[in-house]
């Protein structure tokens, strides 16, 4: 019964699940159609709230039509509406009408990571003293493993997604968009510091390095992977960015743990 009801909510044929009755004898199909419309429009509104830049790039009318297709294909699996849209980026990749906008899927992924970051758990950055303690044991550094903030995500894109996103923020102006080469590859570091979610544009080597750390690679191994990806990888600048973002919340070396 509940599966029939859920299927009928997203059906396009206007049908009504079997067994529905109305208290005043009006047609159940009509009443159900009102409910169906509210459900679908509510989910489209949710996607519009969560993906404002994606919507700005294709226009409201197109976005809502695309979102309607997504709602039918991938209805929410959780009652938490704030996290609806997990698969929206992948859906956009397969959505033929936007094939001319190859950056759109990654832009939606970036917007979704910002929401995940907003709702991620809190964690305190390592103190200067703790960092000093790690640094004091130089020989153990290559095997050090980093615990990064739960709100930290890396997105490597073949398109200029961070610049595109930034150009659509309130503090930006149209000039940023005018000269933008969308085919320039960019990677994003998303991280929340207290209540503010930030998105940084990072070099490909830095993205590779941070992604390796999140997979629990040792510092030495992560640096080697990053250098293999990008000979210009700048370790000091990347670590400084992580420190500034408050993203390093623990470091474990074979001899000690700082957290």
Partner 1 sequence: MNQTVSAASLALAFGAAMSIAAAPVSAASHGGAMKAETEKCYGVAMKGKNDCKAGAGTSCAGTSKMDHQGNAWSMVPKGTCEKTMSKTSSTGKGQLMEFKEKKA
Q: What is the per-residue binding string for partner 1 in 46-85, x denoting contact by CB under 8 A?
A: xxxxx-----------------------------xxxxxx
Cα dist from 185 to 25, 136, 155, 182, 209, whole Å: 61, 37, 11, 8, 16
Q: What is the per-residue binding string for partner 1 in 165-204, x denoting contact by CB under 8 A?
A: -x---xx------------------------xxxxxxxx-
Q: Does 232 bind partner 1 (CB under 8 A)?
A: no
Distance, CA of 247 to CA of 190 (rounded, Å): 10
Q: Using CB under 8 A, which of the segments 23-31, 33-41, 56-64, 218-226 binds partner 1?
A: 218-226
Q: Residues 29, 235, 250, 256: which binds partner 1 (CB under 8 A)?
A: 235
Distance, CA of 70 to CA of 40 (rounded, Å): 10
Nearer Cβ to partner 1 (3/195): 195
Q: Does 119 bind partner 1 (CB under 8 A)?
A: yes
Q: Residues 39, 40, 58, 141: which binds partner 1 (CB under 8 A)?
A: 141
Question: Would you say 139 and 130 are in contact if contact means Cβ atoms under 8 Å apart?
Answer: no
Distance, CA of 250 to CA of 148 (rounded, Å): 7
C-beta atoms surrounding 215 within 10 Å? 10
| Binding region for partner 1 (CB under 8 A) | 45-50, 80-85, 114-115, 118-119, 128, 131-132, 134-135, 138-142, 162-163, 166, 170-171, 196-203, 206, 219-220, 223-224, 227, 234-244
């Amino acid at each position: 019964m509940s599966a029939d009801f859920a299927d009928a909510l997203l059906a396009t044929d206007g049908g009504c699940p079997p067994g529905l009755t109305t208290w005043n004898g009006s047609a159940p199909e009509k009443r159900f159609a009102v409910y169906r419309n509210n459900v679908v429009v509510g989910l489209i509104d949710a996607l519009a709230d969560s993906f404002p830049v994606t919507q700005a790039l294709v226009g409201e009318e197109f976005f809502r039509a695309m979102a309607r297709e997504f709602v039918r294909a991938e209805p929410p699996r959780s009652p938490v509406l704030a996290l609806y849209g997990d698969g929206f980026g992948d859906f956009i990749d397969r959505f033929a009408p936007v094939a001319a906008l190859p950056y759109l899927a990654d832009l939606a992924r970036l917007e979704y990571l910002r929401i995940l970051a907003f709702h991620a758990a809190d964690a305190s950055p390592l103190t200067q003293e703790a960092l000093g303690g790690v640094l004091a044991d130089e020989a153990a550094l290559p095997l050090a493993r980093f615990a990064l903030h739960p709100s930290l995500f890396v997105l490597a894109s073949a398109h200029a997604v961070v610049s595109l996103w930034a150009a659509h923020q309130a503090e930006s102006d149209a000039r940023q968009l005018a000269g933008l080469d969308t085919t320039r590859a960019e990677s994003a570091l998303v991280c929340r510091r207290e209540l503010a979610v930030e998105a940084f544009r990072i070099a490909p080597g830095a993205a590779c390095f941070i992604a390796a750390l999140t997979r629990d690679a040792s510092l030495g191994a992560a640096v080697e992977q990053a250098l293999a990806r990008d000979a210009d990888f700048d370790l000091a600048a990347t670590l400084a960015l992580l420190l500034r973002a408050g993203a390093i919340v623990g470091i474990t070396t074979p001899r000690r743990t700082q957290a």
